[in-house]
């Protein structure tokens, strides 16, 4: 049973799902210091937008496997720090699609018909029918900046209001735009053509202050701007100035560059309708977000792929069903190969023979990196940081698939080149578990769990060698739990002995010095 910390308010459906399987603690309103202390022994952290998951918090979490954001953005999570630590970050990108689209459209209607101003006026005891003359949406042009899930839903609703729709999104194909009934143009064209513009772009350095003074000056006079995406998409001072001058007729703003936005300049104009980041604040959206992240936390803690991992590749469940049993074989083969080729590993060749070579290779590649680094790094290797850690340690991995090699349906072969030759380990999965079936040019049959250590003695292939080596081990109180002998070329043989304790360097040297023994090496399975 894993430990899960929920650090922000989460819908009860999500809490109940997690509590049925794991030990769940809900602690909200924690300071950074308190959160650092709270995450020390947890396996999963669930937050919304209030809790800041900084690099310091992540470094304090010794067992953390997954950070879940019950919402769309992950601005409050240091994803780079999580990636470096091998922690999967997941979110719920679909949960608030409809809620945000409806809120954006609500802001558009509020702007068009001066709804907040009329409400405030009447509550203040005035009947200002003439003061708040509005406009219709029908026949107007709506510009959509960012034609993703939310932007598409807004466009669908705009068509029902008989609006013409233009859009800017460099990643949308002409075919998709045509299917949506949308005219694509560049951003300046959208701003010049539109009566209303709604923003649904992703925030990154290329879109920060996307709507600025220069672009507003070139926009259609009297344009109205809606933002329910990210506050930093707009230069807020520039928008305020454009509203004051009349270049922009009004704005509907739900998100701000800094929140809480009490005192923000955009909240001081009667022509700007403002809401306190309410776009995703519906019962339905919060329920969906809680359920989506709970499902993903359960999947990650069960060793499965997350549906919406921000920093990890998604692996098709059908492919994982095929390759999953061979992950342990890949890690074991890499670990043994690294032990048999001591020193820094620079190049590795990975062969995946059989059906596993036709499927997604990244999970098997991750397992190989984990095996290679098992004894040289304290870092936890996951699908999130495997390539980064391999690069950090100067390891280049080549991999390819190939046909099955009899008698194995699937085989994982790891090769590490050395000046004196290539060290090769082959492993597979059988109904009885993982087995090592090849070491260099020898065919072997080694069950890792049968003994914590194994001795590999390469010797002249002649009678009496087994007794010779066995006698020496017996004199030193070493128990032999199993033995596998394989013949090779040029009258050589490999003797693999499962033993109960590690051999010292002196003992290995003594074994290597025996008559007709070429080498004695040790493998640690522990």
> CB-based burial of residue 59 (10 Å sphere; 0-12 exposed, 13-18 middle, 19+ buried)?
middle
CA dist 495 and 309 (Å) reads 46
- Give the three-class secondary structure for 121: helix
- Give the three-class secondary structure for 151: helix
Q: Which helix (H) or strand (E) holds 273?
A: strand 272-274
Residue pair 455/520 in contact (Cβ under 8 Å)? The answer is yes
- Give the three-class secondary structure for 368: helix
Q: Which helix (H) or strand (E) holds 292?
A: helix 283-301
Q: Tell me 266's DSSP state.
A: G
Cα three-residue angle 190-193-194, rounded to 5 degrees? 80
HSE value, Cβ hemisphere, 13 Å, CA-based, for 85: 22
HSE value, Cβ hemisphere, 13 Å, CA-based, for 202: 13
| Cα dihedral 50→55→59→62 (10° resolution) | 40
DSSP string, 25-72: EE--S--HHHHHHHTTT-SEEEE-SSS-B-HHHHHT-SS--EEEESSS
Q: What is the pLDDT along the chain (526 residues), one digit of tens a residue?
A: 999 999 999 999 999 999 999 999 999 999 999 999 999 999 999 999 889 999 999 999 999 999 999 988 788 999 989 988 889 999 998 899 999 999 999 999 999 999 999 999 999 999 999 899 999 999 999 999 999 889 999 999 999 999 999 999 988 888 889 989 999 999 999 999 999 999 999 888 889 999 999 999 999 999 999 999 999 999 999 999 999 999 999 999 999 999 999 999 999 999 999 999 999 899 999 999 999 999 999 999 998 878 888 887 767 778 888 998 999 999 999 999 999 888 888 999 999 999 999 988 888 998 999 899 887 776 778 778 888 888 888 899 998 999 999 999 999 999 999 888 899 999 999 998 999 999 998 999 888 888 899 999 999 998 889 888 988 898 888 989 888 898 887 789 999 999 999 989 999 999 999 999 999 999 898 7
Question: Residue 202: its pLDDT value, please?
Answer: 85
The sign of the CA dihedral 77, 80, 81, 84 is positive
CA dist 187 and 168 (Å) reads 6
List the one residue out of 259, 198, 234 whose CA is nearest residue 75. Answer: 259
Question: Residue 93: its pLDDT value, please?
Answer: 86
HSE value, Cβ hemisphere, 13 Å, CA-based, for 40: 5
CA dist 16 and 21 (Å) reads 9
List the one residue out of 408, 416, 396, 345 whose CA is nearest residue 375. Answer: 345
CA dist 109 and 117 (Å) reads 12
Question: Which domains does the chain possess?
Answer: 3-95+284-312 (3.40.50.720), 97-274 (3.40.50.720), 318-524 (3.30.1330.90)
Residue range 301-312, pLDDT digits in tens = 998 878 888 887
Question: Residue 419: its pLDDT value, please?
Answer: 87
Question: Residue 489: its pLDDT value, please?
Answer: 77
Residue pair 198/100 in contact (Cβ under 8 Å)? The answer is no
List the one residue out of 184, 185, 232, 239 whose CA is nearest residue 214. Answer: 239
| Catalytic center residues | 230, 259, 277
- Distinct helix (H) and strand (E) counts, the chain: 18, 22
Distances (CA, A) of 456 to 363, 463, 466, 499: 29, 17, 12, 11
Q: Which helix (H) or strand (E) holds 388?
A: helix 386-392
Question: Residue 72: its pLDDT value, please?
Answer: 82
Question: Residue 97: its pLDDT value, please?
Answer: 93
- pTM across the whole model: 0.64
The sign of the CA dihedral 428, 434, 435, 440 is positive
Distances (CA, A) of 113 to 116, 133, 191, 454: 9, 7, 21, 80
User: 272-274 and 248-253: which strand pairing?
Assistant: parallel
């Amino acid at each position: 049973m894993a430990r899960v910390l929920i650090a922000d308010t989460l819908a009860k459906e999500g809490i109940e799902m997690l509590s049925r399987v794991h030990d769940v603690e809900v602690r909200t309103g924690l300071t950074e210091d308190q959160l650092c202390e709270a995450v020390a022994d947890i396996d999963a952290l669930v937050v919304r937008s209030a809790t800041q998951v900084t690099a310091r918090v992540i470094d304090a979490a010794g067992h953390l496997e997954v950070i879940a954001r019950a919402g769309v953005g992950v601005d409050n999570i240091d994803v780079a720090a999580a990636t470096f630590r091998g922690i999967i970050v997941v979110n719920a990108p679909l949960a608030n699609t409809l809620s945000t689209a409806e809120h954006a459209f609500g802001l558009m209607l509020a702007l068009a018909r001066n709804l907040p101003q009329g409400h405030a006026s009447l509550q203040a005891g005035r009947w200002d029918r003439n003061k708040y003359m509005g406009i219709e949406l029908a026949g107007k042009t709506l510009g959509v900046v960012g034609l993703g899930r939310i932007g598409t839903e807004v466009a669908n609703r705009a068509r029902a209001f008989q609006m013409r729709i233009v859009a800017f999104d460099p990643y949308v194909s002409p075919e998709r735009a045509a299917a949506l009934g949308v005219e694509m143009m560049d951003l300046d064209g959208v701003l010049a053509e539109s009566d209303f513009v709604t923003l649904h772009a992703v925030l990154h350095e290329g879109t920060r202050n996307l709507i600025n003074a220069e672009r507003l000056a070139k926009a259609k006079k009297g344009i109205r701007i809606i933002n329910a995406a990210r506050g930093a998409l707009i230069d807020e001072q520039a928008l305020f100035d454009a509203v004051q001058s009349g270049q922009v007729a009004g704005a509907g703003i739900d998100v701000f560059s800094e929140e809480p936005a009490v005192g923000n300049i955009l909240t001081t104009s009667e022509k700007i309708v403002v809401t306190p980041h309410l776009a995703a604040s519906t019962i339905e959206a919060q329920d969906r977000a809680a359920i989506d992240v709970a499902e993903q936390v359960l999947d990650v803690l069960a060793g499965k792929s997350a549906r919406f991992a921000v920093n990890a590749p998604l692996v098709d469940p059908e492919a994982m069903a095929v390759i999953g049993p061979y992950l342990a074989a890949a890690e074991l083969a890499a670990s043994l190969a690294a032990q048999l080729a001591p020193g820094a590993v620079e190049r590795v060749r990975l062969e995946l023979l059989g059906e596993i070579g036709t499927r997604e290779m990244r999970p098997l590649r991750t397992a190989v990196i984990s095996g290679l680094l098992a004894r040289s790094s304290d870092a936890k290797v996951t699908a999130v940081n495997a390539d980064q850690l391999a690069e950090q340690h100067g390891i280049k991995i080549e991999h390819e698939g190939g046909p099955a090699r009899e008698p194995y349906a699937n085989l994982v072969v790891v090769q590490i080149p050395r000046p004196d030759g290539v060290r090769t380990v082959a492993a597979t999965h059988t109904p009885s578990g993982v087995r090592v079936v090849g070491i260099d040019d020898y065919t072997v049959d080694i069950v890792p769990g049968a003994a914590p250590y194994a001795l590999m003695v390469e010797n002249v292939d002649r009678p009496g060698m087994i007794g010779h080596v066995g006698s020496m081990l017996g004199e030193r109180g070493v128990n032999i739990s199993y033995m596998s002998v394989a013949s090779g070329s040029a009258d050589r043989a490999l003797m693999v002995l499962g033993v109960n304790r590690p051999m010292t360097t002196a003992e290995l040297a003594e074994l290597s010095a025996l008559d007709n023994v070429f080498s004695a090496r040790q493998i640690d399975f522990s």
